[in-house]
Amino acid sequence: MNWHKVTTIRDIPQGTRKHVTLAGHEYMLLHTKEGIWCIDHRCPHADGAVGDGMILGQNITCPLHKWRFDLCDGSHAHAGTKLLGVYQVKVEGEDVLIEA
């Protein structure tokens, strides 16, 4: 795992999200009042665009089949399915970096 600059803080104000692609992998940055999260954009269930889902607190709901994922650890209530990928985020000056 290495840190990668993916955007600047000005490009993702609180209340917005930003889709980024790194080495062909899709991520979604979500800037909520709790902070900036980074998750896989694609759902581990059936490839839905979970990154476009509705956020409530520390959870995001996939728009395709409504599975709800914890933004902290990618967990969900459906056994036997992979977790949603979640990634560390840090801000250095103006730069937003993810560990991936």
Under the rule (CB under 6 A), what is the footprint of ligand FES? Answer: 43, 45-48, 50, 62, 64-65, 67
Nearer to ligand FES (CB atom), residue 69 or residue 96: 69
H-run or E-run covering 15 = none
Helices (H) and strands (E) in the chain, counts: 0, 10
Nearer to ligand FES (CB atom), residue 26 or residue 47: 47
Rounded distance between C-alpha atoms, residue 54 and residue 68, angstroms: 9
Minimum distance, C-beta of residue 42 to ligand FES, in the bound complex (Å)? 8
Minimum distance, C-beta of residue 21 to ligand FES, in the bound complex (Å)? 19
Rounded distance between C-alpha atoms, residue 47 and residue 42, angstroms: 5
Nearer to ligand FES (CB atom), residue 29 or residue 60: 60
